[in-house]
Copies of this chain bind each other. A is one copy, B any other.
């Protein structure tokens, strides 16, 4: 894409009430726009990153047998009363609204209730189980506090998968599979080494639930890390579980962290309340055993920005960068230099490499500052100088290393 055609531009100013580093950088880079506290729109660059994150998540969910669906935001009161999650004493972050006739509706902050109810149409027998529907869909949460940019918002996409199993063993096996799938997602977006399986409060159906926490100074949570086992205990249960649940190590290290995912055993809480049952081989009815598994793609983006940027520049992991390459053309008022840049753009595009082409007539300093802020991990520079030398400057922004690469070898070099 030509940068002269991209409608967003980098900005120097951000809204005065914006305090988080991730939102500031993403607003300055033209990735997102702040509508109000905790509510952000995605601009073309931001949507490219979001779509890449979603695609990586989908890949892993499909891999474990997930079937994608798309539920609604509008929710009927009756359904949520059955599980006692309608009243604001029980759930304090509902957004509620009304039909023209006065009937109260809710905006889903999660989807256990509607999905459990829906599955009653499709689960009757043990033959119908297990199944793993999931969605990437908007959640609304009426957060009292929304100061962490994309890491805690009032309206956000969430990937939520729900497992429906006929036996505890089947459930437990899938729960372990999902731990692996989540690890694969965090590895794929580049935060794997900083992300820890974290033991959290379990509820009625298991001793623990599990969070995935990414170590990050801007995190709202505190985790207690076992450096031997690479697992952690969350703040909520540290008093009852002061040692590593795996090896018993009592020397845990406290760190600030962001919860980038969580997985829960729901047991039969929802299936009993909403009458989702199956019959076994001997025609005896049992409530379905459930689990839920959440990742917030935009929170993941916020976390990536927090950990892979300084105060001025982002460096995207290649897997979720808005483009593969940022081609910066200098001296564009020189016909031969511009022609060279156009040729490089055409060549790379023809090779299937996704290029942001800075074809603007602007100063080199401005172009480099913008490239730093937009954060594409590979920056190419072409100019009168490189034209004479018949090679191109390739900057790997992750390593900071610059190489001169002959034009003829460029596509091959970048694909490597």
Give chain A's interface residues, CB within 8 Å of chain B: 5-9, 11, 30, 33, 35-36, 39-44, 47, 50, 65, 67-76, 92-93, 95-101, 105, 107, 114, 118-119, 121-123, 128, 131, 133, 138, 140, 142-144, 154-155
Contacts and interface: CB of A to CB of B under 8 A. Distances in A.
A33 to B, nearest CB: 5
A60 to B, nearest CB: 17
Contacts of A75: 35
Nearest to A33: B118
A11 B121 contact: yes
Contacts of A143: 100
Nearest to A95: B97
Copies held by the complex: 2
A71 B41 contact: yes
A69 B41 contact: yes
12 contacts: A5-B67, A7-B122, A9-B122, A30-B122, A35-B71, A35-B74, A42-B69, A42-B71, A44-B69, A93-B100, A97-B107, A107-B107
Contacts of A50: 70
Given A35-B114, A72-B35, A65 B138 contact: no
A70 B41 contact: yes
A29 to B, nearest CB: 13
Contacts of A119: 7
Contacts of A7: 67, 119, 122-123, 128, 131, 133
Given A131-B7, A144-B100, A72 B122 contact: no
A42 B67 contact: no
Nearest to A43: B69
A94 to B, nearest CB: 9
A142 B100 contact: yes
A72 B6 contact: no
Given A43-B69, A67-B44, A68-B44, A35 B138 contact: no
Contacts of A99: 142, 154
Contacts of A9: 122
Contact of A65 (B5, B11, B76): B5
A162 to B, nearest CB: 11
Given A36-B74, A74-B36, A67 B144 contact: no
Contacts of A8: 122
Pairs of residues from A and B, 10 with the lowest C-beta to C-beta distance, nearest first: A7-B131, A42-B70, A41-B71, A95-B97, A44-B67, A97-B97, A39-B74, A33-B118, A100-B142, A74-B155
Contacts of A67: 5-7, 44
Given A97-B107, A99-B142, 12 more contacts: A5-B65, A7-B119, A8-B122, A35-B72, A35-B76, A36-B76, A44-B69, A72-B155, A73-B155, A92-B100, A99-B154, A107-B107
A54 to B, nearest CB: 11
Nearest to A88: B100
A40 B138 CA distance: 15
Contact of A73 (B11, B114, B138, B142): B138
Nearest to A51: B68
Contacts of A155: 72-74
Given A7-B67, A97-B107, A72 B118 contact: no
Nearest to A65: B5
Nearest to A1: B67
A72 B35 CA distance: 8
Contact of A96 (B5, B47, B92, B97): B97
